[in-house]
């Protein structure tokens, strides 16, 4: 398996030299500066590739894109969004021309990954990201005031949400809106004000799970022939969290969701981003079983863990100490990896580390979930398990 590191470009507070010192050899990045829906050019890709791969120190290679954002009209209307799909294919072609063969993407409408807390304090003083159901319900019911939202929460959750909201200051409300509605690091959706958020939701009024899945299939039917011809593997990231949000459907939350997509579009270019954190937040998901079921489809893996709570809340735990049996997961991935040729080895990265140690300094700029030290700890733990399993 090939170690990689997510890097957000020249403005990332974690430098490429930091990546080198962490020991990762491959870089996962994207052209975040290009507006959603516009085609990436070969010149733009080459420039980013030059920044990553040049320099006097040990070599880094840009091998994975995370992500080419899928425009909102594709999710709402599917295959008829021909202009947006053509631009997406043009971006794919520019990447392939520069030798980049793995592309991660998601199909989550309106917002992608969602957390209510970005700096939740753990007992040891480190900070983690958290999805708190009561705080999320407070946002839905009392800030966004989504019509019909009360039907999505039981009476106990609604009562807790009301108490949470009534205890909030204006700053607390603003912070919660930022955490949920703004574009966080790595987001592939646009930041939204509350009025814009309501407008977006209204545009999805007639899009249920069956319609959203059909639109995803139509998108894949349009793009996978070109990806296959270019030798590029598309890897769909799971929903995060794997549950409906804001009355919107989710269509990549379980093994059965992925099976339906692979059955509909059997092209080998139609692959999976195996994210143990996103899938692991769903209590019904058996992570080792999913890895065994779809092993040949896994080109890219995000390895992290969560601790779930009875009401559906969760927080991001140490990489080896969540509900995910990471040792069992890695056994499956290593067995799959051993069966592959050198050019098809699974690329993985440690995902969403804690903010800890020197990264806790108030003056130090960090991206939530993407601090250097927390991810380095995660990578070291994963590397240790891998070495032990390989030796055994």
Residue numbers annotated as active site? 237, 275, 302, 351-352, 370
Residue 278 CA to residue 282 CA, distance in Å, equals 8
Using alpha carbons, list the distances in angstroms from residue 297 to 48, 75, 210, 252: 28, 23, 23, 14
| Cα first-last separation, the chain | 16
Half-sphere exposure of 228 (CA within 13 A, CB side): 13
Tokens of residue 212, six digits: 């959203």
Q: Strand, helix or coil at 28?
A: strand
Residue in 260, 264, 219, 218 with CA at minimum distance from that of residue 92: 219
Using alpha carbons, list the distances in angstroms from residue 237 to 67, 254, 279, 365: 10, 11, 10, 27
Q: Label the pairing between strands 102-105 and 61-66.
A: parallel
Tokens of residue 36, six digits: 């959603």
Residue in 286, 316, 364 with CA at minimum distance from that of residue 120: 316
Residue 184 CA to residue 190 CA, distance in Å, equals 9
Q: What is the dihedral of CA 76, 81, 85, 88, to 10 degrees?
A: -60
Phi and psi (nearest 5°) for 192? -130, 140
Residue 187 CA to residue 118 CA, distance in Å, equals 14
Tokens of residue 278, six digits: 């996103």
Tokens of residue 289, six digits: 């079983």
Residue 352 CA to residue 330 CA, distance in Å, equals 18
């Amino acid at each position: 398996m090939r170690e990689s590191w997510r890097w957000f470009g020249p403005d990332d507070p974690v430098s490429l030299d930091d990546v080198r010192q962490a020991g990762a050899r491959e870089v996962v990045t994207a052209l975040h500066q290009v507006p959603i829906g516009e085609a990436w050019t070969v010149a733009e890709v080459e420039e980013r590739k030059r920044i990553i791969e040049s320099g006097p120190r040990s070599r880094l290679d840009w091998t994975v894109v995370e992500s080419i954002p899928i425009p909102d009209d594709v999710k709402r209307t599917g295959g008829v969004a021909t202009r947006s799909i053509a631009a997406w294919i043009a971006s794919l072609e520019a990447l392939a021309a520069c030798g980049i063969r793995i592309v991660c993407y998601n199909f989550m409408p309106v917002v992608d990954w969602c957390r209510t807390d970005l700096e939740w304090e753990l007992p040891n003083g480190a900070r983690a990201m958290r999805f708190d159901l009561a705080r999320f319900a407070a946002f839905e019911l009392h800030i966004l005031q989504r019509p019909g939202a009360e039907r999505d929460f039981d009476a106990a959750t609604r009562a807790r949400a009301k108490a949470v909201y009534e205890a909030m200051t204006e700053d607390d409300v603003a912070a919660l809106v930022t955490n949920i509605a703004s574009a966080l690091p790595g987001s592939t959706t646009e930041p939204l004000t509350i009025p814009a958020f309501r407008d977006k939701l209204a545009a999805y009024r007639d899009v249920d799970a069956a319609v959203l899945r059909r639109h995803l299939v139509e998108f894949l039917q349009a793009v996978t022939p070109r990806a296959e011809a270019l030798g590029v593997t598309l890897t769909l990231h799971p929903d995060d969290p794997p549950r409906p949000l804001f009355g919107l459907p989710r269509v990549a939350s379980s093994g059965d969701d992925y099976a339906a997509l692979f059955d509909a579009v059997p092209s080998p270019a139609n692959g999976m981003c195996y994210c143990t954190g996103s899938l692991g937040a769903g209590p019904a998901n058996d992570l080792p079983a999913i890895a065994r079921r779809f092993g040949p489809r896994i080109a890219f893996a995000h390895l992290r863990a969560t601790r779930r709570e009875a009401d559906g809340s969760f927080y991001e735990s140490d990489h080896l100490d969540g509900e995910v049996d990471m040792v069992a997961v890695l056994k499956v991935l290593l067995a799959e990896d051993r069966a592959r040729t050198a050019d098809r080895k699974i690329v993985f990265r440690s995902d969403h580390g804690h903010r800890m140690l020197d990264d806790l300094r108030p003056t130090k700029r960090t991206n939530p979930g993407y601090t250097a030290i927390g991810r380095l700890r995660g990578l070291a733990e994963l590397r240790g398990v891998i070495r032990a399993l390989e030796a055994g």
